[in-house]
Amino acid sequence: MTETPASGATIEIRGLSKEFGTFRAVDDVSFDVHPGRITGFLGPNGAGKTTTLRMILGLVRPTAGTATIGGRPYAAIHQPLRTVGAALEATSFHPGRSGRDHLRVLADTAGIPTTRVDELLELTGIPAAARKRAGEYSMGMRQRLGLSAALLGDPQVLLLDEPANGLDPEGIRWLRGFLRSLADSGKTILVSSHLLQEVEQTVDDVVIISNGRLVRSGAIAELHGPPTSLVRTSEPNRLIGALRVSDIEADLAADDPTAVIAVTEDLRLVGDVAHRSGLPVWQLNHRASDLESVYFELTEGTNRNLGATADASSPAPTEGADR
């Protein structure tokens, strides 16, 4: 039987749940992550992102549900390092070992040639740091080393937990281009973040969780909603009436009594309607869709069905004790 399909592997999450004691950290989550695309795994702090990633990697046993990669649970993949690369938060490196040595040890255990180690240090932009003890690495350097380790076996699937944390703006831009080229080569990429803004320009798809529950999954373009225009005038209600007569959906803007939001990107049409109604136009422009507000709306106010409040009911983490 072949290890993975030649052209990518889909991650399938079905009804995945995890309870720590009575606290439900992940609650009946289902979604797919497709090859050739970058999927952003989003949610506020404590939403359950890392726990989900750990379940995909077989590091935490689900209370219910399944997570498979290319149709198999992680534990059933014969050469995991060559199939799935992962960089989880707070990945610990032996502090006294250099970055290069760290990767060499990993490469050795997986039968990967050491030439790949230098190739990756170069690729992730830390060749100069290769001889330095990992304990002396900055946060950004640790992220890059973690990414190198994840990529050692040239895996088909990449799971990255908050990889932009600690990167400078140049590093973030580099990461964006790097992930894009990997996705273009057909890899399946799941990248978590608690900030939509951070991944907005990077991802094709989003999976948003809040309080352990899935609140949205799909193409990021669908989050934007329909294109709208903003027009300011002396008599907004008259303009709204005129726009509706012309079959253009319109409403008052929430934050400005002179502003109307029209659901169209055709500025000329809106201007013509105003002109025909004899109304002055004080301002007319396309309205940038505010993804950040959409994200806040989606992740606010969803309550866990176990415990009083998320924080109060959350037991102290017993990292690693749950296997």
Ligand X SMILES: Nc1ncnc2c1ncn2[C@@H]1O[C@H](COP(=O)(O)OP(=O)(O)OP(=O)(O)O)[C@@H](O)[C@H]1O
Q: Which of 34, 180, 194, 287 binds ligand X (CB under 6 A)?
A: 194
Sort residue 88 into left (φ over 0), alpha (ψ -120 to 50) or beta. Answer: beta
Q: Which of 2, 7, 22, 45 binds ligand X (CB under 6 A)?
A: 45
Which residue lies nearer to ligand X by CB, 31 or 102?
A: 31
Least distance (Å) between residue 237 CB and ligand X: 44
Q: What is the total count of residues that contact ligand X (CB under 6 A)?
A: 18
Residue 46 touching ligand X (CB under 6 A): yes
Least distance (Å) between residue 195 CB and ligand X: 9
Which residue lies nearer to Mg ion by CB, 50 or 299?
A: 50
* 315: partner contacted, choices ligand X, Mg ion, none (Cβ within 5-8 A by kind): ligand X
Residue 47 touching ligand X (CB under 6 A): yes
Residue 322 touching ligand X (CB under 6 A): yes
Q: What is the total count of residues that contact Mg ion (CB under 5 A)?
A: 3
Residue 31 touching ligand X (CB under 6 A): no
Dihedral in degrees, nearest 10, Cα atoms 307, 312, 313, 319:
160
Per-residue DSSP letters for 150-201?
HHTT--SEEEEESTTTT--HHHHHHHHHHHHHHHHTT-EEEEEES-HHHHTT
Q: Which of 17, 50, 229, 299 binds Mg ion (CB under 5 A)?
A: 50
CB 250 within 8 A of CB 239: yes
Angle at 112 between CA 108 and CA 113, to 5 degrees: 95
User: How are strands ordered across the β-sheet holding 259-262?
Assistant: 250-252, 259-262, 228-233, 281-287
Q: Which of 37, 49, 100, 304 binds ligand X (CB under 6 A)?
A: 49
Which residue lies nearer to Mg ion by CB, 165 or 258?
A: 165
Helix ranges restricted to H, the chain: 49-56, 80-83, 99-109, 115-123, 139-151, 169-184, 196-199, 220-223, 236-245, 267-276, 291-299, 310-313
Q: Which of 43, 70, 85, 140 binds ligand X (CB under 6 A)?
A: 43
Least distance (Å) between residue 34 CB and ligand X: 22
Cα 147–chain centre separation = 16
Q: Which residues contribute to the site for ligand X (CB under 6 A)?
A: 20, 25, 43, 45-51, 89, 194, 314-315, 317-319, 322
